[in-house]
């Protein structure tokens, strides 16, 4: 892991209203609060890869064990009592776009995923709901988590770490009794993607790929959120991509398959300071995607909102991606090295 419709005034305003939560009755969230839960929202049953989470009433103490779920919670006015830190070392595992939604609420306790889920620490927090949609929860993990509290694990039918941002937002909304509000948030961002496709017809049908120079070359598959970003912008992923990497969210490619990198647009996520080395790599430097400047480099830097936002792909980070990645893609797709992104 360490993937991507009205009058003119409404086009500009409605997504903003949805993204900033205007009209919400949860402007100053309280830790664990699900105030404003919709009528008839509970009880609710949510199926996942390993079973069904039975949530009988509005949860008051929510803990996240996935990467991005805290963003969806905060967007809905719910502050988790604990989050799980995967990278970035941010207080509460909250990046700036999420911290803005914290209001005066206490910063969540942070669990560390370095050696797996911290079950004892998690249990001591006495959660009444555990959420791990964007995760690699195992069947054994799930049994332990369910013994603590109802657990919304990753959905069936998609690879681990492959759940779509829309599904994260809507499932979290369902779990905390705010399904309609979550749906409005999703539609607001989808409208912004539609606007990008309309304003950038040059993206349509162009092949694109997301990759990182990790243990060689690692490419993200069709089920990865970073790849979905590209298709949401109007790009097309390489034919047979998943046959190259298997049924995972991504995978390393062998030297004889490096030609998969030579697409019309290629988005790289190199380690900090690794862009120059990658550009000079003899296995890569002569591909047309490099000589024509069709590649975009987003270096690992957790103080850079663009990098972090692309790794999260959440309802709160996507506005940053839309604002800052799209211009880079536009420069890359023209094939003119002088406009190298």
Residue by residue, DSSP assigns 167-214 as HHHHHHHHHTT-HHHHHHHHHHHHHHHHHHHHH-GGGTT-BEEEEE-S
Write down the H helix ranges in the chain: 8-20, 69-75, 96-99, 119-124, 139-146, 165-175, 179-199, 225-232, 241-245, 275-279, 288-291, 305-312, 318-333
Residue 3 has pLDDT above 50, yes or no: no
Q: Do domains 8-187 and 200-339 have the same CATH topology?
A: yes
Q: Kindly give, in sequence order, each residue whose CB lies less than 8 Å from that of residue 240, ignoring residues fewer than 6 positions away.
A: none
Q: What is the pLDDT of residue 5?
A: 27
Residue 140 has pLDDT above 60, yes or no: yes
Q: What is the pLDDT of residues 159-176, one digit of tens each?
A: 899 999 999 999 999 999
Q: What is the pLDDT of residue 64?
A: 98
The distance from CA 312 to its chain's CA centroid, rounded to whole angstroms, is 4
Residue 231 has pLDDT above 90, yes or no: yes
Q: What is the pLDDT of residue 336?
A: 76
Q: What is the pLDDT of residues 25-76, one digit of tens each?
A: 334 444 555 567 999 999 999 999 999 999 999 999 999 999 999 999 999 9
Alpha carbon distance 337, 341 (integer Å): 9
- The topology (CATH level 3) of 8-187 is Rossmann fold (3.40.50)
Residue 324 has pLDDT above 50, yes or no: yes
Alpha carbon distance 165, 188 (integer Å): 13
In this prediction, residues 270-294 reach a mean pLDDT of 94
Please, are residues 27 and 213 in contact by the beta-carbon 8 Å criterion?
Answer: no
Q: Token match 């909250």: residue?
A: 94
Q: What is the pLDDT of residue 28?
A: 43
In this prediction, residues 82-99 reach a mean pLDDT of 94
Under the banding of pLDDT at 50, 70 and 90, the label for residue 110 is very high
Q: What is the pLDDT of residue 32?
A: 53
The pTM of the full predicted model, rounded to 2 decimals, is 0.86
Q: What is the pLDDT of residue 241?
A: 87
CATH number of 200-339: 3.40.50.1980
In this prediction, residues 84-99 reach a mean pLDDT of 94
In this prediction, residues 289-300 reach a mean pLDDT of 96
Token duo for residue 240 = 């047979």
Under the banding of pLDDT at 50, 70 and 90, the label for residue 340 is low
Lowest mean pLDDT among 27-36, 128-137, 203-212, 290-299: 27-36
Q: Mean pLDDT of all residues in the chain?
A: 88
Domain locations in the chain?
8-187, 200-339
What are the φ and ψ backbone dihedral angles of 328, each rounded to 5 degrees? -65, -40
Give 12 or 308, the one with higher predicted confidence: 308
Q: What is the pLDDT of residue 271?
A: 92
């Amino acid at each position: 892991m360490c993937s991507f419709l009205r009058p003119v005034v409404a086009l500009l305003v409605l997504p903003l209203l949805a993204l900033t939560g205007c009209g919400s009755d949860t402007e100053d969230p309280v830790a664990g609060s699900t105030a404003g839960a919709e009528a008839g929202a509970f009880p609710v049953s949510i199926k996942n890869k390993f079973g069904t989470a039975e949530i009988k009433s509005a949860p008051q103490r929510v803990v996240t064990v996935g990467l991005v779920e805290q963003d969806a919670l905060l967007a809905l006015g719910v502050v988790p009592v604990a989050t799980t830190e995967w990278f970035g070392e941010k207080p509460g595992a909250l990046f700036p776009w999420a911290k803005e939604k914290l209001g005066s609420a206490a910063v969540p306790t942070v669990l560390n995923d370095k050696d797996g889920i911290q079950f004892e620490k998690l249990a001591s927090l006495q959660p009444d709901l555990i959420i791990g949609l964007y995760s690699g929860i195992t069947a054994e993990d799930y049994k332990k988590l369910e013994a603590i509290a109802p657990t919304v694990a990753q959905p069936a039918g998609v690879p681990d770490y492959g759940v779509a941002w829309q599904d994260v937002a809507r499932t979290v909304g369902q779990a905390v009794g705010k399904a309609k509000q979550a749906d409005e948030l999703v539609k607001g961002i989808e409208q912004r993607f539609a606007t990008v496709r309309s304003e950038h017809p040059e993206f349509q049908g162009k092949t694109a790929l997301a990759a990182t120079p990790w243990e060689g070359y690692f490419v993200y598959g069709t089920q990865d959120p970073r790849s979905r970003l590209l298709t949401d912008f109007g790009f097309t992923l390489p034919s047979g991509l998943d046959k190259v990497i298997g049924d995972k969210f991504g995978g390393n490619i062998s030297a004889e398959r490096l030609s998969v990198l030579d697409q019309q647009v290629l988005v790289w996520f190199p380690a900090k300071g690794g862009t120059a080395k990658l550009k000079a790599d003899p296995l890569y430097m002569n591909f047309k995607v490099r000589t024509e400047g069709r590649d975009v480099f987003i270096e690992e830097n957790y103080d850079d909102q663009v990098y972090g936002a692309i790794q999260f792909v959440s309802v709160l980070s996507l506005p940053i991606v839309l604002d800052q990645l799209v211009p880079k893609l536009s420069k890359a797709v023209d094939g003119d090295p002088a406009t190298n992104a």
